[in-house]
Chains A and B, each alone.
Chain A
Amino acid sequence: MSSPITTWEGASAVFTFADSPMGIAISLAAAVGIYLYLNLSIMKHEKDSFDKHK
C-alpha cells in the first residue's frame, strides 16, 4: 500500500509513500539513477557515433 492516509479528514502530505521513508528513498534513488544513466548513455552514444565517423 502506497497511500499514507486512510481518510481525507485532517490529511496533509498525501503523496505516495509519504509515511514510508523507504518508499521515498527508493523512488528518489531511481529518479537520480535515471538522471545519472542519461549522462552515461549520452557519453556512450557520443563515443560510438564519433568512432563511427573517424
Chain B
Amino acid sequence: MSVETLQSTFEMHQSMNVEVFYWWCTAIMFMIHAGFLAYEIGASRVKNALTSGMKNILTLSVIIPTFYFFGWWIYNAFPNGLIPTDASAALPWSLSMGPDVKDMGTGIFFAAFALFGATTGSILSGAVIERIRLSAFLILAAVLGSAVWILAGAWGWHPDGWMLKDLGYHDVGASGVVHAVAGFFALGVLMNLGARVGKFKDGVAMYIPPHNLPMSLIGLMMIIVGFFGFLGGCIIFNGGDTGWTTIYGNPTNLSAFAFNTLMGFAGGVLGAYMTSREPFWTMSGGLGGIISVAAGLDLYYPGLAFVLAASGGALMPMIGRLVDKLGVDDAVGAIAVHAFCGVYGVVLVGVFCAGYPNVGDLPPISLSGQLTAAVIMALTGFIPGWGISFVMKKMNALRVPPEVEVLGLDLVEIPAKPYPETVPAYAVVENTLQPGQEKQLV
C-alpha cells in the first residue's frame, strides 16, 4: 500500500471519528431532555403533570426544525455583531444543509448545536410550568432556542466571534451562552407571566410541593448524564495533527473536561446540601456546580473547580429564596441554577484565569472582559424574553385563564390522565372546586 493510500485511509477514518464523536454527543444530549421531562412532570402538581410533559416533548420538536430554518444560519452569519456576514452555506436551501457524501461535518455540527438550543428551551420550560399557554411557550422556546442563544453563541462561542476578538472571552462549557442567556430569558418571561395562583399570600412565598419529588430527582440525575454529551459537544475534534481544542482554538482534551466536570458536580451537590438540606436543591446543586465551572473546564485545577462549584451550589438555594422574596415564581429554580450559576461561571473565569493567553493575536482572558461579557449575556437573554412576553401579555396570549389554572391544565387541554388507577387526579381536582363547578368537568 502506498504512502498516499495510507494517508487517504487515515484521513477518512479521522473524519469518520469526528462524526462518530459528535453523533454520540448528540445522542447523549437527548438524555438532558428525558431528564427535563421527568423533572418537570415531577415538579408539577398532579393536575398539570401531563401538560408539563407535553410542553417538554414539543419543545424539542419545535426547536429542531426552527434551528434548521434559521438557527444555524444565525450562528454562521453574526459573529461580528448585528450585521450579518455571508453565510449562505448555512441557509436551509443550501446544498450543504442535507446529505452530502463529501461533507462529514456540517450535519453533525448542526445536530449538536440544535440540541444545545433545545436545552435552552427546556431551561425556560421548567420555570413557567402550570400557568403558561402552550402556544405562547412554544413561540418563546423557538425564539430562545433558535435565535437568541445562538446569536450569543455567534458572538461568544465562535472562533471569529467579536467577544473573543475584543474581550478575550472564555466560556468553553457555555456557562454564559447557554445557561445565563436562557436563565435571564426565563426571568424576563416570568416577570410578565406572574406567579401561579396561591404561590404568594400577603406577599409571602408559599411552598407548592412537587407531586412526585423522586421523579424530579431522577430527572435531574438524567440531565447530569446528558451533560456529558453536552460538554463533549463543546470541545472541537480537529483533523490533522491538531488534536482536541476548545471552540476558541486553544489546546485542551477530554481529560481536562473529565477532571473538572466530575469535581464540579460533586462540589455543587455538597455546597447545595450544606445550605439547603433539601433534596430538590441538593440534586440541582450538581447542575449548578457544573455550570459554575463550565466556562473554565479546560483551565481550572480540579481542587479549585470543586471549591468554586461548592460555592456556586451553596449560593444557589439562597438565590432561589431571593427570587421568591422578589415575588418571582420560578417553579423549578431555573433562575438560581442557570441564570445565577451561568453568570457566576463566566465571572469566575475572569477572577481565576485572568492572564491566560488566547491563540494568535487575540486578547488574553481578563476580569474586565469576563464581567463585560457576563452583562452582555444577561441582557441578551433578558431583553427579548421580557419584551416578547410583554407583547404576548398585552395581547392576552401569554397565560391561561385563571379558572383553567384552578381546574388544572390536564383536565382542560389533555385528552389523557396521568395516573388513572393509582392517584385519582380527577378527585384531587374535584376537591378544590367551588360549588357548581363540578358540571364543568366532562
Interface residues in chain A, defined as those with a beta carbon under 8 Å from any beta carbon in chain B = 8, 11-15, 18, 21, 24-25, 28, 31-32, 35, 38-39, 42-43, 45-46, 49-50, 52-54
Contact = CB atoms under 8 A, between A and B. Distances in A.
Interface of B: 62, 65-66, 69, 92-93, 95-96, 98-103, 133-135, 138-139, 397, 400-401, 403-404, 407, 411-413, 440, 442
Contacts of B404: 49-50, 53
A24 B97 CA distance: 11
Contact of B100 (A12, A25, A35, A46): A12
Contacts of B65: 31, 35
Contact of B62 (A13, A25, A38, A52): A38
Contacts of A31: 65, 69
Contacts of A45: 413
Contacts of A15: 98-100
Contact of A42 (B95, B138, B401, B442): B138
A14 B135 contact: no
Nearest to B409: A49
A34 to B, nearest CB: 8
20 contacts: A12-B95, A12-B101, A13-B99, A13-B103, A15-B98, A31-B69, A35-B62, A35-B65, A35-B69, A38-B138, A39-B135, A42-B138, A43-B135, A45-B413, A49-B412, A50-B412, A53-B411, A53-B412, A53-B440, A54-B401
Contacts of B442: 52
A2 to B, nearest CB: 12
B64 to A, nearest CB: 10
Contacts of A13: 95-96, 98-100, 103
B403 A54 contact: yes
A11 B99 CA distance: 11
B93 A24 contact: yes
A-side interface mostly? helix
Contacts of B401: 50, 54
B399 to A, nearest CB: 11
Contacts of B413: 45-46, 49
Residue among A8, A24, A28, A46 facing the most chain B CB atoms (10 A cut-off): A46
A18 B93 CA distance: 9
Which 9 residue pairs spanning A and B have beta carbons closest together? Answer: A15-B98, A13-B95, A42-B135, A15-B99, A13-B100, A43-B135, A12-B102, A49-B412, A49-B413
A28 B98 contact: no
A54 B101 CA distance: 56
A46 B403 contact: no
A45 B335 CA distance: 30
Contacts of B407: 53
A37 to B, nearest CB: 12
Contacts of A52: 412, 442
A28 B412 contact: no
B135 A28 contact: no
A41 B87 CA distance: 33
Nearest to B65: A35
Contact of A46 (B95, B101, B102, B133): B133
Contacts of B92: 28
A44 B96 CA distance: 37
Nearest to A43: B135
A35 B66 contact: yes
Contacts of A50: 400-401, 404, 412
Contact of B139 (A12, A21, A39): A39
